[in-house]
Amino acid sequence: MSDSSANDSRVLRKFLRHKPAVVASVVIAVYGVVAFVLLVVGVITLPDTLKRVGAELQPGLSSERLPEKRLLDCEWLIDRIASLSERRNPEKALAAFSDMGVRRIADVELDELLNRIDLAWESYDELADIEDVTAAAAGTLDDPDVPPPAEVRSMLTELEKRTDALLEPMTKAEKSTRWFELLLGTDRQGRSIFYRAVYSVRVAILIGLVTALLSVTIGTLAGLAAGYFGGWVDNVVTWFYSTFASIPNIVLLILLAFMFDGGHIDGPINKVTGGLLDRLIGGRLDETLIPVYIAFTATFWIGPCRVVRGETMKIKELEYIQAATVMGFGRARILLRHVLPNVTYLMLINFSLLFIGAIKSEVILSFLGLGVKKGPSWGIMISQSKSEVINSFFWQIGTATTFMFFLVLAFNVLSDALQDVLDPKHV
């Protein structure tokens, strides 16, 4: 323990030999970079994740959509534009449509546009006559009146081309943006699943980082103080963690969510502080992640506190610490120079474990409507996909789960490796 630098490099070497752990670290770093870019540079912004980018429940990876669905999508678009063009002031209505974000209406005279709409409808009508377009395109429909499958398919393509002509042609940049937007499909409201999932990396890393840091810091400080000073300090800390640990996590989280819900601190406590508390934070927390941070930290600090306290009590009894005490080193100095370095490994392991805890708890809280309130998160995405799954649409749940899976898996592997390397005695 005293030759800690030699020890450190040995530990580092052991860690680097652990290949899965190295891969896991790289994975975590990638997520971290994505989160950093999103936070600081802001490639994908909150509005990007909220706007409609196309038809609802579009599957991703440009996988073949059902002909029936393609037909419906065209119908929706033609119908929208047609009805706009029938307004009293069609130019204005059409211009407003373009503001919806995705693509503008083709920049042509109104007559020409109406002409194109007619063409599109014509194409549509032919196909709409067919009872089951999907079956017809696959050639499984037994009806002599229906054109052969190849022709049905080319009719569909033609319809899509004509529909497309209603809109302004896309530039190269627009095309590639579009490709990304539709990469993993769209949700029930036609929002880009890919954008939402990527944006959620930011939320996950923020929640994980903040709560794990806060919990580990608070837990370690409390644990160090309790273990080292003993006496009433120990009693107070033990009392706090026994108490917090005896309320099931979820109940505590719900309780805290109840406290912050609506955001106004108007109970007796507010009177005690002369209304200051409410003026400071009342009503401001709801939109932020702060209630989530507080709720998680309130339950997560117990773990690190408990182990650090135990370890500190053991270290305190070691000879060289005793010697340092006898030699009259200040207590603070002994704590910081001798005890703290010997519990850092516990802090690391706990950090990793709590990061996982935070990401997973976010999903649960968001499902219960108590977690992230603004914008997407993996929890929100998974909760929303509930109704999509019933319709056998798996793109949203699949994407959110996959994004979360690799991050959590990486942290799981990392935690294991850290435990192996730093705390071999651990079960």
Binding status of residue 16 toward another protein by CB under 8 A:
no
Dist CA 141 CA 401 (whole Å) = 38
Residue whose CB is less far from another protein, 139 or 275: 275
Binding status of residue 274 toward another protein by CB under 8 A:
no
Span near another protein by CB under 8 A; candidates 44-52, 184-192, 201-209, 264-272: 264-272
Structure tokens, 392:
């056998």
Binding status of residue 266 toward another protein by CB under 8 A:
yes
Binding status of residue 5 toward another protein by CB under 8 A:
no
Binding status of residue 269 toward another protein by CB under 8 A:
yes
Kindly tell me which residue out of 35, 117, 401, 418 binds another protein, with binding defined by CB under 8 A.
401
Instruction: Round to the nearest angstrom and report the end-to-end CA distance of the chain.
Output: 21
Binding status of residue 259 toward another protein by CB under 8 A:
yes
The amino acid at 180: F
Residue the block writes with tokens 């209603």: 166
Kindly tell me which residue out of 156, 212, 256, 324 binds another protein, with binding defined by CB under 8 A.
256
Kindly tell me which residue out of 69, 178, 264, 373 binds another protein, with binding defined by CB under 8 A.
264
Kindly tell me which residue out of 219, 379, 395, 414 binds another protein, with binding defined by CB under 8 A.
379
Strand partners, 382: none
Give the H/E segment covering residue 288: none
Binding status of residue 233 toward another protein by CB under 8 A:
no
How many residues touch another protein under the rule CB under 8 A: the total is 50
Phi, psi of 377 (to 5 degrees): -155, 165
Q: How many CB atoms lie within 10 A of CB 375?
A: 17
Kindly tell me which residue out of 250, 290, 294, 313 binds another protein, with binding defined by CB under 8 A.
250
Strand partners, 191: 52
Torsion angle of alpha carbons 96, 100, 106, 109, nearest 10°?
-10
Dist CA 11 CA 8 (whole Å) = 5
3-state secondary structure (DSSP) of residue 146 = coil
One character per residue 381-400, x = contact with another protein (rule: CB under 8 A)? -xx-xx--xx------x---
User: Could you give the angle at the alpha carbon of 246 between the alpha carbons of 242 and 250, nearest 5°?
Assistant: 135
Which spans of this chain sit near another protein (rule: CB under 8 A)? Answer: 17, 239, 242-244, 246-251, 254-259, 261-262, 264-269, 360, 363-364, 367-369, 378-379, 382-383, 385-386, 389-390, 397, 401, 404-406, 408-409, 412-413, 416, 427
